[in-house]
């Protein structure tokens, strides 16, 4: 026998999470998650899932029947959209203005489809004009895929215009809303988004590990008309929907697909419930307001934003690291002396920028104050 390791219980400190996610989790969500586990086919659990579905519909502002939470993080939500909708040989226009657009491209290639990449600079929004040109140049494209709120740069793209363009050119739109949902305006039905995925750990202030997704009727029709099986068994929505809302034929019976992450779903239910109680528009306004307070303070410290004001995300503030300042040392001091986490730069911005999150429950005045004072102290 290999000997058992002797390991103490893990007692994490209480940090203030102002990175790119996970964000500060609502205390109510942590408490909800610790409630007793019940079976994933228990009638009470199934009732909770019905509520959860209506809460996700609210957060996305959609009446899409196919709305659920993928039992895995946002990256799996992204993959869910691509492997279910896109088939080998099809053409997808992928907008790339940061890490997550590039990840979309990789997803397209891994299903054997062709990605037509529309590149914009890191820190810029997706160019609506460039996308229109790509759509015109590629009349056989079937999808337009873009990131609403780029977590790697803090740039917000014009999802409404992009989805309108997609529709005009007979493309289905696939939208990454991991960082946008709950933090900025997002209207799935009104804007005509066909497939959307999010993450639990950003502006929803839930624990990380789940990905709310939603498919429009047009996306569902595409899924049903597939010529080949979905390459992933785990993410195959034709199977998963048998559990989330009876079969596609609308039988009421829930059939087993995989064991749902019961306690994590309690947590998501609670976080979305808190969002619904606050009201989406109030939450959007709170993010905008707290961003203004943070912005003034950061500019007062002489820090410059990566993204122009017009397309700046309130919930993800990327600022350039001042010359001569040791990136890692600053973040270490904030973490060790103030229990404050801010994010490092990612990809092209690694070592050049910090990413300061104001997400969900974290978008509060006390967090802004702590961040500004701690940065002031450390940068002195």
CB 12 within 8 A of CB 190: no
Q: Which of the 8 DSSP states describes residue 305?
A: B
CB 275 within 8 A of CB 283: yes
Pick one of 142, 148, 222, 269: the residue that binds its own copies (CB under 8 A). Answer: 269
Q: How far is the CB of 22 from its own copies (least distance, A)?
A: 5
Q: Which of residues 276-305 bind its own copies (CB under 8 A)?
A: 276-277, 279-281
335 part of the interface to its own copies, by CB under 8 A: yes
Q: In what order do the strands lie in the sheet with 316-320?
A: 16-18, 340-344, 353-357, 316-320
Is 254 one of the annotated binding-site residues?
no
Residue 302 burial by Cβ neighbours in a 10 Å radius (0-12, 13-18, 19+): exposed
226 part of the interface to its own copies, by CB under 8 A: no
271: Cα separation from own chain's centroid: 15
Q: Which residues contact 52 (CB under 8 A, 6 or more apart)?
A: 69, 265, 268, 269, 272
Minimum CB distance to its own copies smaller for 138 or for 238? 238
Minimum CB distance to its own copies smaller for 52 or for 141? 52
The contact mask relative to its own copies for 74-93 (x = CB under 8 A, - = no) is xxx-xx---x----------
Q: Which of residues 110-139 bind its own copies (CB under 8 A)?
A: 110-111
Q: How far is the CB of 139 from its own copies (least distance, A)?
A: 28
Q: How far is the CB of 136 from its own copies (least distance, A)?
A: 29
5 part of the interface to its own copies, by CB under 8 A: yes
46 part of the interface to its own copies, by CB under 8 A: no
Minimum CB distance to its own copies smaller for 161 or for 263? 263
What gap in Å lies between CA 239 and CA 257, rounded to an integer? 7
Pick one of 91, 160, 167, 257: the residue that binds its own copies (CB under 8 A). Answer: 257
Closest of 281, 267, 289 to residue 364, by C-alpha: 289
Minimum CB distance to its own copies smaller for 73 or for 297? 73
What gap in Å lies between CA 359 and CA 3, rounded to an integer? 43
Strand ranges inside 141-187, DSSP E: 143-147, 149-150, 155-156, 172-176
What gap in Å lies between CA 270 and CA 292, rounded to an integer? 28
71 part of the interface to its own copies, by CB under 8 A: yes
Q: How far is the CB of 189 from its own copies (least distance, A)?
A: 8
Pick one of 217, 251, 256, 285: the residue that binds its own copies (CB under 8 A). Answer: 256
Instruction: Output the CA angle 19-20-25, nearest 5 degrees.
Output: 75
Q: How far is the CB of 24 from its own copies (least distance, A)?
A: 8
Q: How far is the CB of 368 from its own copies (least distance, A)?
A: 19
Rg, the chain, Cα only: 21
SS3 category, 316: strand
365 part of the interface to its own copies, by CB under 8 A: no
351 part of the interface to its own copies, by CB under 8 A: no
What gap in Å lies between CA 347 and CA 356, rounded to an integer? 16
Pick one of 168, 259, 292, 337: the residue that binds its own copies (CB under 8 A). Answer: 259
Name the one range near its own copies by CB under 8 A: 102-110, 169-177, 291-299, 370-378. 102-110
Number of residues that bind its own copies (CB under 8 A): 96
Minimum CB distance to its own copies smaller for 279 or for 300? 279
40 part of the interface to its own copies, by CB under 8 A: yes
CB 57 within 8 A of CB 245: no
Q: How far is the CB of 353 from its own copies (least distance, A)?
A: 15
Binding site feature residues: 355
Binding site feature residues for substrate: 355
């Amino acid at each position: 026998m290999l000997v058992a390791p002797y390991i103490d219980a893990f007692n994490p400190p209480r940090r203030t999470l102002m990175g790119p996610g996970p964000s500060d989790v609502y205390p109510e969500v942590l408490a909800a998650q610790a409630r007793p586990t019940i079976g994933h086919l228990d009638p009470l659990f199934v009732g909770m899932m019905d509520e959860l579905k209506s809460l996700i519909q609210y957060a996305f502002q959609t009446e899409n029947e196919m709305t659920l939470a993928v039992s895995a993080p946002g990256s799996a939500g992204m993959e869910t959209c691509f492997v279910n909708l896109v088939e080998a040989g099809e053409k997808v226009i992928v907008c790339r203005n940061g890490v997550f657009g590039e990840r979309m491209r990789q997803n397209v290639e891994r299903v054997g489809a062709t990605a037509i990449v529309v590149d914009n600079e890191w820190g810029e929004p997706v160019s609506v004009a460039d996308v229109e040109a790509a759509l015109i140049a590629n009349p056989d494209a079937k999808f337009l895929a873009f990131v609403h709120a780029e977590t790697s740069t803090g740039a917000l793209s014009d999802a409404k215009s992009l989805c309108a363009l997609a529709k005009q050119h007979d493309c289905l739109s696939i939208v990454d809303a991991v960082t946008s949902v709950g933090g900025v305006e997002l209207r799935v039905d009104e804007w005509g988004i066909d497939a959307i995925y999010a993450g639990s750990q950003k502006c929803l202030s839930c624990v990380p590990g789940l990905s709310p997704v939603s498919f429009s009727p047009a996306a569902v029709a595409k899924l049903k008309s597939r010529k080949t099986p979905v390459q992933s068994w785990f993410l195959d929505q034709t199977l998963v929907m048998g559990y989330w809302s009876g079969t596609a034929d609308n039988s009421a019976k829930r059939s087993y697909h995989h064991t749902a992450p019961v306690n994590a779903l309690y947590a998501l239910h609670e976080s979305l419930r808190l969002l619904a109680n606050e009201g989406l528009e109030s939450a959007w306004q709170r993010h905008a307001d707290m961003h203004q307070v943070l912005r003034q303070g950061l500019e007062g410290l002489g820090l410059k934003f990566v993204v122009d004001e017009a397309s700046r995300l309130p919930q993800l503030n990327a600022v350039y690291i001042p010359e001569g300042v040791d990136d890692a040392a600053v973040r270490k001091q904030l973490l060790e002396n103030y229990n404050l986490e801010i994010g490092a730069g990612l990809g092209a911005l690694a070592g050049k920028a910090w990413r300061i999150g104001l997400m969900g429950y974290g978008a509060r005045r006390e967090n802004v104050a702590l961040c500004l004072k701690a940065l002031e102290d450390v940068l002195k």
